[in-house]
Amino acid sequence: MKPSDVLRWLSPAVLILALAGCEKEREADVTPPAVEPPPPPTLTETVNAPASEELDLTADRPEAKTTEKQKQILLDDMPPSGPLNLNARKCYALIASTKEKIEKISADLDDGGKQITRLIRTSDDLSKDITELAEIWPYDKAFRDLCIIAKRHTLVLNDELARVPRKWTHVRWAFTNALKSVSKLRLSAREVAELEPKPQAIVGKDGKVVYVDAPPPPVDPAIAKREEIVKKTERMREQMRRIEEEKKKETLPTDLDSKSR
């Protein structure tokens, strides 16, 4: 065999091997280089990071618990809806007033009870609001019973606050009971207020709409007399309670003087 024939026979094989070597070189060129992971952020980069990327590191701070406590809602707002008659307007005003007083008491208790005089006065005003609520519908026995329960718990809270020396655990229990009963009373008061007859719309000469309350239904004289007796009894109990409180305040300095001797 001639040398030229050997070269002619080997040329296709050599060509195929040469092409395969080129393809491997191309694949090696296309393969991306290895990328090293970025280093962890430094303390300066973490502090200076944007607000959306900052880590929340406040959960273990004391002020975090205080902020959470401040966001806690004790009683919901109950705004009126639509025109209301006189009784319903009084009711919604007292509903808002009871919420305000409960929140004042809660804030003063969270402050360590430093404002003890204000605590006693606020609890006393809360008791008066409940009495005024009961007087709006004196003939509704179910609603009046809720008022009696709420007022009883409020008076217990008032007594615990006025007690010397006072036990703050008992004050907290009394406040919790008062909060629960006042919450139920407010819900019931809203339901009763919404059942009140809506005022009548009257168009005046100037074209303006004026709402006028419908005339109240007739009152049974026997029921009115019984309710008057109940009111007198409650006033007498309130007066006796205040007399007992004054006696305690008067005898306290004497007892302390005798112990010091």
Least-confidence region, from 57-66, 125-134, 157-166, 175-184: 57-66
* Number of other CB atoms surrounding residue 222 within 10 Å: 8
Q: Which residue has the higher pLDDT, 225 or 25?
A: 225
pTM of the model: 0.56
- Range among 50-54, 134-138, 226-230, 247-251 with highest mean pLDDT value: 134-138
Q: Is residue 166 predicted with pLDDT exceeding 70? A: yes
Q: Is residue 26 predicted with pLDDT exceeding 60? A: no
**What is the structure's pLDDT at 221?**
72
Domains of the chain: 84-197+219-236 (1.20.120)
Whether the Cβ atoms of residue 212 and residue 200 lie closer than 8 Å to each other = yes
Q: Across residues 120-141, what is the average pLDDT?
A: 94
For 49-67, write each residue's pLDDT tens digit: 444 333 333 333 444 444 4
For 9-21, write each residue's pLDDT tens digit: 555 555 555 555 5
Q: How far apart are CA 94 and CA 234, in angstroms?
A: 20
Q: Which residue has the higher pLDDT, 33 or 99?
A: 99
